[in-house]
Amino acid sequence: MSTTHCPYCALQCAMHLEPGPDGNLRARPAPFPTNRGGLCRKGWTAPDLLTHPDRLTTPLIRHNGHLEPATWEQALDTAAHHLDHLRRTHGPDANAVYGSGSLTNEKAYLLGKFARLALGTSQIDYNGRFCMSSAAAATNHAFGLDRGLPFPLTDIATAQVVLLAGANPAETMPPMMGHLAAPTLIVIDPRRTPTAQQALDHGGLHLAPRPGTDLPLALGLLHAARTAGHLDHTYIEQRTTGFRTTWAQAAAHWPERTEEITGVPAHHIRAAADLLGHAARNRSAYILTGRGSEQHATGTATAGAWIDLALALGLPGRTGSGYGCITGQGNGQGGREHGQKADQLPGYRHITDPDARTHIAHLWNTTPHDLPGPGRSATELLAALGTPHGPRSLFVMGSNPAVSAPDTTLIKKRLAALDHLIVCDFVLSETAQQAHVVLPTAQWAEEEGTMTNLEGRLLRRTRAQNPPPGVRTDLQVLSDLAPRLGADPHHFPHDADTVLAELARASAGGRADYSGIDPHHLTAGHPQYWPAPRPTTTEPDPDRVPSTPRMFLDTFAHPDGRARFSTPTHHGPAETTDTHYPLWATTGRLLGHYQSGAQTRRIRELATTDPEATVQIHPDTAAHHGLTHGARAHLTSRRGTMTARVHTTPTARHDTVFVPFHYAHDQAANTLTQHALDPTSRMPEFKVSAVRITPAPDPATEGRP
């Protein structure tokens, strides 16, 4: 039996893996603080993919338009030849790298090193840009440091009130709901999600704003809280700066005006402010945000507005209360800290910081001058592929942008325009189907490494079995490919612990300091939360396990120790509805699927439960557009059309439809979404697209008399 962690969301539930009657691994929950001995259906079925018939076990090379089996030597030599040729002919930025928030810390670190040292390119980013980048920008501004939850998840279980803005953990990470059973919930979401329903069932509130109006709702709650006398003025004076500027914005958002903008009744706004304010007085309230508030062209400002509300109530940096962001991807936190983001070096250092460049250059045996500068963000990188001034090749590890990126019709064209596309994956995803070289890689249960979960806790992922013959780990791929590009092989080890030791040195002194992380401590079960600086010899106990479970209790990470209020201004969505596109479409996840669905759509139990894309719509709205429950419909935006099965629900807003983004081809929700980007985080606006909905032919009944 092996104990490890689930391959899906950032909750990183612990599980035991053991052989079943057929010899294949089976999962059962293991005791751990985040999941408390529970698993969702995705976790229970995760081992099924290890032996799936679609599993890739042989490298593939495209010949005459078809992917054909090849040896590893042939595949690696082909990939290296094209990468080197493009670098020599067009410069290092002709090659681009695209990573993932699902990669282990070691893989994220080595991938960033591979891009900047072996390829010499600045063109590297990852799909985590689509997940929490706006909240990261907002928390960096507010607190001087970004960690999703700056406190253990278990802390929220004893709170009186928890406000969830744009988060639906009942579907996206069900075991988290055990921590939300006791608190009274205030849920901010345009939809009556299962999380919102739980709030209503247990005496809480559900505020359903118009899509794209979370920011003015946060300002309206701040206005109502101040009017009711709930603000902590002593905290504001002693631990923050900038409140007057924020209040200048909030002063214009009294509840009745906020109702006009958001559609949320003024008395509900006052009730929510009172509920939260009374709990804040008892230092027993939390504000948590998710993708629903972030994935907008104003996502950073919106996340900042929720942080402003938390600061005004005196929540952050106090035991028993706080603000946090619920990270989505399995290693969404660690994935953005160690160098696979366009503007960052390991340790959450900024790539333009001269001291950071000197530190990393010395460790990598190069010069600061030879390190590339910042590159394009994920959406901008993908949109530039194959264009006259963009990258001519792309190396993809652990991601499926042909489904997950906004405006997938354009992205698939950009992928097709590349001179060379290399994809590392364990199934033939929609992106891999377009590749010139496909490299079969190991899965989560077949490799070692560490992950950083939503609360900043380092976790040890242990190998339960070896990969199938013919399959290599991602670290092996980088280790094998880098020397073919002229890099020193000693700089690209394939042993996870060796890479972690180097990552620790690279992050030392950075904002995300992992220098004290020890795999032996993790294996022994000692909790380690970053920052975890290596103990100094002058400390009383140099053998202590470094860990910071709760941040900001004494001071925030700005030089003056104070948190910063923001200056949120509401601009509305990047596009508007009209007579041709009269409805808002918003996207999200289902209980049974995960991200682009490349994994979960292959699991029979999950695919049977949710076999196709659905569109949730109010019955009156459906009837107005000539639709009935169970019918097929086309949804069309200014960018493209998708097809989905109609699911009517009386709790839906009349002006809004919801579609999950797990499906591909003609059911791909991101066919509808747009490239509008937040100016700070560069996160695209997934949550608001103007659409029309029309009846579609049903293949199941087409041709019947």
Residues with Cβ within 8 Å of 201's Cβ and at least 6 positions away in sequence, in order, are none
Write out the two tokens for 490.
């000693």
Q: What is the DSSP letter of 445?
A: G
**Residue 538: band (very low, low, confident or very high) from pLDDT cuts 50, 70, 90:** low
Q: What is the pLDDT of residues 315-348, one digit of tens each?
A: 999 999 999 999 888 898 888 899 999 999 999 9
**What mean pLDDT is predicted for residues 625-643?**
97
Asked if residue 638 lies in contact with residue 701, where contact means CB atoms within 8 angstroms, the answer is no
What CA–CA distance (Å, rounded) separates 282 from 591? Answer: 34
d(CA 155, CA 179): 8
Cα angle for residues 398, 509, 542 (degrees, 5° grid): 110
Select the CATH number that applies to the domain covering 73-129+331-523 from these four: 3.40.50.740, 3.40.1380.10, 3.40.50.80, 3.40.50.300.
3.40.50.740
The arrangement of secondary structure in 2-51, i.e. its CATH architecture, is Single Sheet (2.20)
Q: pTM higher than 0.75 for the full model?
A: yes
What integer is the mean pLDDT of 630-639?
Answer: 97
Mean predicted confidence (pLDDT) in 649-674: 96
Q: What share of the chain in percent tops pLDDT 70?
A: 98
Read off φ and ψ for residue 403, nearest 5 degrees: -115, -35
At position 581, the amino acid (one-letter code) is Y
Q: Can you point out the beta strands (E) in 166-290?
A: 184-188, 205-207, 240-241, 285-289
Residue with tokens 């500027």: 245
Listed as own residue / partner, the contacts of 262-266 with beta carbons closer than 8 Å and 24 or more positions apart are: 262/209, 262/210, 262/213, 262/216, 262/217, 262/220, 263/208, 263/209, 263/210, 263/213, 263/653, 264/207, 264/208, 264/209, 264/217, 264/220
Residue 568, pLDDT score: 86
Strands 420-425 and 393-397: parallel
**Rounded Cα distance, 644 and 624, in Å:** 17
Exposed, middle or buried, 157 (CB in 10 Å: 0-12/13-18/19+)? middle
CATH no. for 583-695: 2.40.40.20
Alpha carbon distances (Å) from 27 to 33, 445, 523: 18, 11, 19
pLDDT tens for 444-481 read 999 999 999 999 999 999 999 999 999 999 999 999 99
Instruction: Say what the pLDDT of residue 206 is.
Output: 98
For position 381, what pLDDT does the model report? 98
Token output for 416: 């097709």
- Residue labelled with tokens 């950083």: 452
Nearest by Cα to 32 from 691, 469, 522: 522
**pLDDT value of residue 703:** 52
Instruction: State which H helix or E strand residue 438 sits in.
Output: strand 437-440
Checking DSSP bridges between strand 322-325 and strand 285-289, what pairing results, if any? Answer: parallel
- What does each C-alpha distance from 295 to 135, 304, 674, 687 come to in angstroms? 10, 13, 11, 6
Q: How many residues are present in the chain? A: 705
Which CATH class, in words, describes the domain spanning 133-326? alpha beta
Checking if the pLDDT of 64 tops 70, the result is yes
Mean pLDDT of 680-705: 85
Query: What pLDDT is recorded for position 147?
Result: 95
Q: What is the mean pLDDT of residues 78-88?
A: 98
pLDDT at 705: 47
Output the pLDDT for position 700: 65
Coil vs helix vs strand at 490:
helix
User: Residue 334 is which amino acid?
Assistant: G
DSSP element (H, E) containing 614 = strand 614-617
| C-alpha 656, offset from chain centre | 24
pLDDT digits (tens, 9 = 90+) for 145-185: 999 999 999 999 999 999 999 999 999 999 999 999 999 99
Asked if residue 540 has pLDDT above 80, the reply is no
Residue 702 has a pLDDT of 57
The pLDDT tens digits for 189-230 are: 999 999 999 999 999 999 999 999 999 999 999 999 999 999
Question: What is residue 519's predicted lDDT score, i.e. its pLDDT?
Answer: 84
* In the chain, domain spans: 2-51, 73-129+331-523, 133-326, 583-695
pLDDT digit string (tens) for 481-519? 999 999 999 999 999 999 999 999 999 999 999 999 988
Interatomic CA distance for residues 436 and 251, integer angstroms = 57
Pairing between strand 184-188 and 205-207?
A: parallel
Using only the alpha carbons of the chain, give its radius of gyration.
24
pLDDT at 524 over 90: no
Q: What is the pLDDT of residue 525?
A: 75
Closest CA to 407 of 671, 689, 130, 209: 671
Q: Measured between alpha carbons, how far is residue 319 from residues 152, 412, 547 in Å?
A: 11, 48, 16
pLDDT in tens, 400-455: 999 999 999 999 999 999 999 999 999 999 999 999 999 999 999 999 999 999 99
What pLDDT is recorded for position 539?
55
Q: What is the DSSP string of 396-428?
A: EES--HHHHSSSHHHHHHHHHT-SEEEEEESS-
pLDDT in the model for residue 23: 87
Neighbours of 585 (CB within 10 A): 27
What is the C-alpha to C-alpha distance for residues 354 and 675, in angstroms, rounded to an integer? 32
Within this chain, domains 2-51 and 583-695 share the same CATH topology: no
Mean pLDDT taken over the chain: 95
Q: Which residues lie across from 647 on neighbouring strands? A: 616
